[in-house]
Structure 1
Amino acid sequence: MGIPQDTTNTNTRPHAESSGPFGTSFRSQLGSFSASSPLAEAAIARDLEGDNVYDDNGEDDSDSSTVRPSELSMTDAYSRPSIVNPGFRSAVIPSSSVPEHGYLTKKELAAVCDEERSLLRDNLLIPPKHPRGESESSFSSRLGRKLSIAALRKFRSTSDEESAIAAEDALSENTALLGGDPTQPYGGEDTPKIINKKWEEAVLSGKIHTTWQREAKVLGKYSGPLILTFLLQYSLNVASIFTVGHIGKVELGAVSLASMTANITGYAVYQGLATSLDTLCAQAYGSGHKKLVGLQLQRMIYFLWVITIPIGVIWLSGTAILSAIVPEKETARLAGLYLKILLTGAPGYAAFESGKRFVQAQGMFSATLYVLLICAPINALLNWLFVWHFDWGFVGAPIAVAVTENLLPLCLLSYVYFIDGRDCWGGFEWRALKNWGPMIKLALPGLIMVLAEFLAFEILTLSASWIGTTELAAQSVLSTVTALTFQIPFPISIAASTRIANLIGATLSPAAKTAAKVALCVACVVGVLNVTLLSTLRNYIPALFTNNEEVIDVVAALLPLCAAFQLFDALATNCNGILRGLGRQEVGGYVNLFAYYVIAMPISFGTGFGLKWGLHGLWTGPAIALGIVASIEGWFIYNTSWDRAVEEARKRNAMG
């Protein structure tokens, strides 16, 4: 319980000029939202002063499998998916500490080439992968293809249709119109050099188009693994609430209160500070000095372990601190006990947060998913064993969490040692105890960003404790349920952000606009499904978390209100993602700050305590705020000039 979401922050770095007026390759992904970090570069240079950058055999330590900007004329910038830690809910905060790098690994370069090849093939600019035989070129076969939805979307006029039919007929007859060998996949034109050349020519001549079907497919492909990862990560929270909730409403409220305290004073601190590795590790790896990636990892782990000392003081004093804030003394006592036991897992969690950045800097984003596929089921099993099978009761839940937190870095270490990532580990070094200044300066903005995200909804949990024990327990269930439903639209927004940014970086503004429309339509579908789910099952969902009839009744009464804003929630989340893709995340940040802290909090406190609406009042504020966010950001996106977004991305690259 209390383990926040996975984070992978945006990594961007502009560099060399492109060979055209814009960066026309998908290698210019994310049109670069920031310049390279001088602070990180200075830190790396300082580390290299006394370091031998050559291996023992005299060869350069740089990674031969890494393609650097100077080797790619079309590479304006590259960025990995931006995953903002949502806590219980996401408030996108603009940050000046945007992590950066400027390289493409072989795997990433291959993915870029695949994407370009796919779009070229769809637009009939290269032959298909598998040439069709004569039977496939029959009139009925061609007629069926012409009348398909995908084909009909491409026809805007009679002349357009005639041109498209002529092009496809020529392709099916294996003529030399597209060049190459018609007997080979893609006509024998499946080399990176040819694909890159044709891509540049096609983009500059405006021949690259996309369809709703294609963008929906890409969105599903991008978001599927992310949804699985987020759900697995959040299952660590849900497992404890499931097990403890059936003990009693006091225990359920205590878990919620302890989780809130641990998130704000501990986990958010670890995650916020560890964001500096997204810059330091990525730039060290991108510069070819792989051993420095491991050095930065060691520094961060030691730093976070030092920070664990004041965190430990707070958690060990949890009972006294919470007793002064929360009116229910038994709830405060149990929450304090939870924090004391949870402290034993804090060093492991700190090491895992640092380790995630270590593998992500090397382009290994699947490592975290594999670790969670192992640890999430183990965590659920441990909760059941400790709380119910061994009859340890309430203390079994934090013990299970602490064991899981220590297991996470061990599993990640095993992945690095046995599977991939060892090249960036140069062994333990005394230098890890020096040169902490740049790391801390880069870490502080990330800390502020993550803490701001956690506070908005966590304040409601603390406020619920002043209404009553039943309401606090109900708040725990409601927060968990709404956070669980949030794990679907939020990963979709990440996928949409990445896709839109990629298309803008490739100067394909019409395609980016289509991708945004698809994302909003998918958000509507997801929002309606969540509304239907919570409304239909409002009398059954609470029973999964607790046996207490009072808590069940309160949750069942409030779920329709929570269901009502699910559509706004999904839309607002995906609007945030689109804004990130446009490079206008500051708009989303300010709108969210205004909606949550200027609108939501005053309404929640005014209706919850002033009008004595209780939990209904506390949840009214966020419901209204989400509607405001969706409306303002939707209006901004509707009036956005997508061509101007492409031009602004080009200017950001040039400024780099």
Structure 2
Amino acid sequence: MIEGGLVHMSWVESKKMWSIAGPAIITTVTQFSIAFVTAAYVGHLGEVELAAVSIVQAVIESFAFGIMLGMASALETLCGQAVGAGQLNMLGIYMQRSWIITGVTAVILTPIYVFASPLLQLIHQSKNISELAGKYSIWVIPQLYAYALNFPIQKFFQSQSKVWVMTLISVVVLVFHVLLNWILLTKLGHGMIAAAIAGNISYWLINLSQMVYIVSGYFPDAWTGFSISAFKSLSGFVKLSLASAVMLCLEVWYYTALVLLVGTLNNPEIAVDTISVGMNLQLWTLMIALGFNAAVSVRVSNELGAGKPKAAKFSVLVAVSTSVMSGLIFASAILGTKSHFPKVFTNKPLVVSEASKLNYMIAATIFLNSIQPVLHGVAVGAGWQFQVAYINVGCYYVFGLPIGALLGYKFNLGVEGIWSGMLAGSLLQTVLLFIYLYRTNWENEVSLKNQRY
């Protein structure tokens, strides 16, 4: 009887989770695939071009992406718990506050794009790659401001479990992006700058379409127009936004540091191209895991907002179990296509050969990265951003990166050694987050949620 009740509860919770995770996965994968498509098209222009675009995506854009998405992630805590508490009138105001914060953040980050070339050379990246990357970086500045508008909108939709329109927009724009790149790069023979322009158009098309949907009356309780109230109580909002940004940035920058370390090895063009193949594939599967991240964040914050600690805990168990299964499937797929998956990104035999050697490490990384975003989603839904930030610092920067540098340089293991260190840090972080979850008192979390309004 008890077993049957547990199965029924799991089925009901799974349906709730997948109603959010399904469209969220499609949305995150399709929006990430804009960069994925760009890298794939540019990869056939030449080794230096692929390396330049890859290092901009992995260093400059990932740096900005982590900050912007992190700042917007405060909405997952506030909007999710507001929905659970029935305070829908606050959602539009929260989103506008987030726009103010992410907009100012975008202005602050703009010089990094403008001076990308000297900054990359300052951290000992190849001059040829850095100069080309600097030109590309300036042309993708509009995408930085697209992030500022897009990420808060995503959290606004997700907190109310209304994501199918956002999903449809993303799919249509991705198809348009593929066609636009084919016309500009393949048919007309334009280079990297055309790829950057195509990305700018696609990202802003997503934003404009989403804004039209918001102001068209589909959120009568949550969106009542622009309000001066958005400028009130910004200090507390900024504090939670910064905590969210630090937590996520420490995660994203960890992979950025991996690319930077690889960029200082001998023959950096081949080394960066090799690592970019694995990173693009790993990031693509990470986007799928971020769908579960959004779902568990919404479910936990909604249940805590409604004062239901046991339901929040059960949501976590179902989400983690599902993410483990998906991680095993993706890891198995990589192991089964050892000599084929790099060909999606490049037709250079040497790069294909070197990337294939990372087969087992990529599979292990993908497995862990299927679980970690779910654990982070729990942290955001419950408001644990500061605690997870400390765990990330210790696991990644005190433990993982030093080991990677030691193996890569001291023991001359190159890319494999650096990636091994990264993997060790990720494993330690996953274990510690599981321990933190196990020791959580969910009744106390319900009492703490009222302090966040």
TM above 0.5 = yes
Does residue 1:330 correspond to 2:180, yes or no?
no
Name the % identity. Answer: 23
**Hey, what does 1:594 align to over in structure 2?**
394
Moved more, 240-249 or 435-444: 435-444
One-letter amino acid matched to 1:529: I
Residue of 601, 605, 612 corresponding to 2:405? 605
Deviation of residue 212 (structure 1)? Answer: 4.5
**Hey, what does 1:153 align to over in structure 2?**
3
Paired residues of 2:277 and 2:342 also in contact (CA < 8 A): yes
Are residues 219 and 463 of structure 1, via their aligned partners in 2, closer, same or farther at CA, if it must alter by over 3 Å?
same
Are residues 364 and 549 of structure 1, via their aligned partners in 2, closer, same or farther at CA, if it must alter by over 3 Å?
same
Moved more, 316-325 or 513-522: 513-522
Provide the C-alpha distance between the structure 1 equivalents of 2:147 and 2:451, rounded to a whole number of angstroms.
Answer: 38
Are residues 417 and 565 of structure 1, via their aligned partners in 2, closer, same or farther at CA, if it must alter by over 3 Å?
closer
Residue of 356, 360, 370 corresponding to 2:168? 370
**Hey, what does 2:367 align to over in structure 1?**
567
Does residue 1:227 correspond to 2:25, yes or no?
yes
Provide the C-alpha distance between the structure 1 equivalents of 2:375 and 2:103, rounded to a whole number of angstroms.
Answer: 37
Residue of 245, 249, 255 corresponding to 2:43? 245
Does residue 1:648 correspond to 2:444, yes or no?
yes
Provide the C-alpha distance between the structure 2 equivalents of 1:304 and 1:317, rounded to a whole number of angstroms.
Answer: 21
Does residue 1:257 correspond to 2:80, yes or no?
no
Residue of 339, 344, 357 corresponding to 1:539? 339
Paired residues of 2:52 and 2:130 also in contact (CA < 8 A): yes
Provide the C-alpha distance between the structure 2 equivalents of 1:412 and 1:265, rounded to a whole number of angstroms.
Answer: 25
Paired residues of 2:250 and 2:389 also in contact (CA < 8 A): no
Paired residues of 1:219 and 1:495 also in contact (CA < 8 A): yes
Does residue 1:550 correspond to 2:346, yes or no?
no
Are residues 647 and 420 of structure 1, via their aligned partners in 2, closer, same or farther at CA, if it must alter by over 3 Å?
closer
Does residue 1:620 correspond to 2:416, yes or no?
no
Deviation of residue 628 (structure 1)? Answer: 2.1
Deviation of residue 294 (structure 1)? Answer: 6.9
Deviation of residue 242 (structure 1)? Answer: 1.0
Provide the C-alpha distance between the structure 1 equivalents of 2:129 and 2:51, rounded to a whole number of angstroms.
Answer: 7
Q: Deviations over 1:56-110 (max 9, x none)?
A: xxxxxxxxxxxxxxxxxxxxxxxxxxxxxxxxxxxxxxxxxxxxxxxxxxxxxxx
Paired residues of 1:348 and 1:407 also in contact (CA < 8 A): no
Q: Deviations over 1:510-536 (max 9, x none)?
A: x76665554444333222212211111
Paired residues of 1:349 and 1:406 also in contact (CA < 8 A): no
**Hey, what does 2:139 align to over in structure 1?**
341
Are residues 212 and 404 of structure 1, via their aligned partners in 2, closer, same or farther at CA, if it must alter by over 3 Å?
closer
**Hey, what does 2:212 align to over in structure 1?**
414
Paired residues of 1:346 and 1:405 also in contact (CA < 8 A): no
Are residues 307 and 246 of structure 1, via their aligned partners in 2, closer, same or farther at CA, if it must alter by over 3 Å?
same
Residue of 174, 181, 195 corresponding to 1:397? 195
Moved more, 369-378 or 461-470: 369-378
One-letter amino acid matched to 1:602: P
Deviation of residue 455 (structure 1)? Answer: 1.2
| Higher alpha-carbon Rg | 1
Provide the C-alpha distance between the structure 2 equivalents of 1:478 and 1:301, rounded to a whole number of angstroms.
Answer: 33
Provide the C-alpha distance between the structure 2 equivalents of 1:530 and 1:281, rounded to a whole number of angstroms.
Answer: 32
Paired residues of 1:295 and 1:426 also in contact (CA < 8 A): no
Deviation of residue 445 (structure 1)? Answer: 3.9
Does residue 1:466 correspond to 2:264, yes or no?
yes
Residue of 98, 112, 122 corresponding to 1:314? 112
Deviation of residue 368 (structure 1)? Answer: 2.9
Deviation of residue 610 (structure 1)? Answer: 1.6
Provide the C-alpha distance between the structure 2 equivalents of 1:375 and 1:560, rounded to a whole number of angstroms.
Answer: 34
Matches within 5 A, 1:274-293: 274=72, 293=92
**Hey, what does 1:185 align to over in structure 2?**
none
Deviation of residue 334 (structure 1)? Answer: 1.4
Deviation of residue 260 (structure 1)? Answer: 2.9
Paired residues of 1:326 and 1:332 also in contact (CA < 8 A): no
Paired residues of 1:238 and 1:480 also in contact (CA < 8 A): yes
Matches within 5 A, 1:50-129: none
Provide the C-alpha distance between the structure 1 equivalents of 2:384 and 2:104, rounded to a whole number of angstroms.
Answer: 36
Are residues 519 and 326 of structure 1, via their aligned partners in 2, closer, same or farther at CA, if it must alter by over 3 Å?
same
Are residues 615 and 630 of structure 1, via their aligned partners in 2, closer, same or farther at CA, if it must alter by over 3 Å?
same
Q: Deviations over 1:473-523 (max 9, x none)?
A: 1111111111122233343354345556666766574x7666555444433
One-letter amino acid matched to 1:477: V
Q: Secondary structure at the match of 1:488?
A: helix
Provide the C-alpha distance between the structure 1 equivalents of 2:53 and 2:347, rounded to a whole number of angstroms.
Answer: 16
Q: Deviations over 1:420-468 (max 9, x none)?
A: 24884547x9x69977964656654444344333211111111111111
Are residues 436 and 404 of structure 1, via their aligned partners in 2, closer, same or farther at CA, if it must alter by over 3 Å?
farther
Paired residues of 2:368 and 2:430 also in contact (CA < 8 A): yes
Deviation of residue 272 (structure 1)? Answer: 4.2
Provide the C-alpha distance between the structure 1 equivalents of 2:362 and 2:161, rounded to a whole number of angstroms.
Answer: 38
**Hey, what does 1:111 align to over in structure 2?**
none
Q: Deviations over 1:200-253 (max 9, x none)?
A: xxxxxxxx9955455445444442222212211211121111111122221111
Q: Secondary structure at the match of 1:547?
A: coil
Aligned residues: 445
Q: Deviations over 1:552-592 (max 9, x none)?
A: 11111112221134434434444555566777666544333
Paired residues of 1:252 and 1:473 also in contact (CA < 8 A): yes
Paired residues of 1:281 and 1:293 also in contact (CA < 8 A): no
One-letter amino acid matched to 1:593: V
Q: Deviations over 1:128-187 (max 9, x none)?
A: xxxxxxxxxxxxxxxxxxxxxxx68349xxxxxxxxxxxxxxxxxxxxxxxxxxxxxxxx
- The alignment's C-alpha RMSD in Å is 4.0
Structure 1, unmatched stretches of 5+, are 1-150, 156-207
**TM-score, normalised on structure 1?**
0.59
One-letter amino acid matched to 1:400: A
Moved more, 398-407 or 257-266: 257-266
Are residues 487 and 152 of structure 1, via their aligned partners in 2, closer, same or farther at CA, if it must alter by over 3 Å?
same
One-letter amino acid matched to 1:545: F
**Hey, what does 1:382 align to over in structure 2?**
180
One-letter amino acid matched to 2:287: Q
Are residues 508 and 349 of structure 1, via their aligned partners in 2, closer, same or farther at CA, if it must alter by over 3 Å?
closer
Structure 2, unmatched stretches of 5+, are none
Task: Specify which structure has the higher proportion of helix.
Answer: 2
Deviation of residue 257 (structure 1)? Answer: 1.1
Provide the C-alpha distance between the structure 2 equivalents of 1:281 and 1:581, rounded to a whole number of angstroms.
Answer: 10
Are residues 650 and 370 of structure 1, via their aligned partners in 2, closer, same or farther at CA, if it must alter by over 3 Å?
same
Paired residues of 1:270 and 1:353 also in contact (CA < 8 A): yes
Provide the C-alpha distance between the structure 1 equivalents of 2:377 and 2:147, rounded to a whole number of angstroms.
Answer: 28
Q: Secondary structure at the match of 2:412?
A: coil
Q: Secondary structure at the match of 1:604?
A: helix
Does residue 1:266 correspond to 2:64, yes or no?
yes
One-letter amino acid matched to 1:612: N
